[in-house]
Amino acid sequence: MAVSLREYRAKIKSVESTKKITRAMELIAASRIIKAQQRALAASPYSRELTRAVSALATFSNVDHALVTEPEVSSHASILVITSDRGLAGAYSSSVIKEAERLVEKLKAEGKTVNLYTSGRKAAAYYKFRNRPVVQSWSGFSDQPTYEDARAIANELIEVFVAGEDEHEHATHEVHVVYSRFRSMLVQEPTALRLLPLEVVEGTEAPAEGDVLPLYEFEPSAHDVLDALLPKYVTSRIYSALLQAAASELAARQKAMKSATDNAQELIKKYTRIANQARQAGITQEISEIVGGVNALADATAASE
């Protein structure tokens, strides 16, 4: 019993150490998620106004641009999968990867060749383990992305989109992004959207009867304005996806670490109860041995008399 008691006390000490770590990680995630939400909200006005500007160009100009023109034949597609760099975030990364796998199967069923791009070490490790080629990976900023990180990704995806099949090895006709959209602290929704060619939906409603349509003049030209705005628009969409993914990652990590802390506390209670039972059993056995020894001594003394 003494050995068993020592074992349980060692387990209790080990679980208490684990509990301290998970509790600290929970508090760190809770403090960072507020900043992540604020960054996402701060970036939304810029993205919204940029969307309106691109909508005006797409709606009130007749310019054909590579980023907004549907290809006649779409045989190649690229997918950007945004996951986390670190684990201990529950099913956050795995749910995004599952959504990406569904999109891959859908595109392949349409007869398209799929090229994969990843942001975050979890997605890169997933595809590497399965010996599936990844064109390019980015990592090291999943919980705190910057606009420069989004720009680097956007430049690469725009390059392979506008390039012809003879100009680039990984030329593509479509670009999709899969990430986790932050809904609330309890809900993070894996989302897949088509990034290129652009699907601008604002400004497409028919005007009411009697309304006067606005008159737009583009300087130097609508095509030049599109050349300047569309890369910024794509970058802002990717940056928004990275910020949403960062907030989702931190929320998932906080929830996972809180669950781990609660489980550790329950395990400590369980081991403490078993250790107490083992200690009481040991004490009972020792008392029984003492009583048995006293009785045997008394019987021996009585027999000698």
- pLDDT grade, residue 41 (50/70/90)? confident
Q: Give per-residue pLDDT as tens, 171-216.
A: 898 999 999 998 888 888 999 999 888 765 544 444 455 555 456 6
What residue spans define the domains of the chain? Answer: 24-203+216-257
Half-sphere exposure at residue 203, Cβ-oriented, CA atoms within 13 angstroms: 18
For helices 222-304 and 92-109, give the axis angle rounded to 10 degrees.
Answer: 130
Three-state secondary structure of 212-256: CCCCCCCCCCHHHHHHHHHHHHHHHHHHHHHHHHHHHHHHHHHHH
| Burial of 125 from C-beta contacts in 10 A (0-12 / 13-18 / 19+) | middle
Q: Give per-residue pLDDT as tens, 6-28.
A: 888 889 999 999 999 999 999 99
**CATH number attached to the domain at 24-203+216-257:** 3.40.1380.10
Q: Give per-residue pLDDT as tens, 61-110.
A: 666 766 777 777 788 999 999 999 998 898 999 999 999 999 999 999 99
Is residue 305 scored above 70 in pLDDT? Answer: no
Look at residues 278, 261, 283 and name the one whose alpha carbon lies nearest to residue 8. 278
170: CB partners within 8 A, 6+ apart: 78, 115, 135, 160
54: CB partners within 8 A, 6+ apart: 198, 200, 226, 229, 230, 233
Peptide bond into 190 cis (omega under 30): no
303 or 262, which is more confident: 262
Q: What is the pLDDT of residue 1?
A: 46
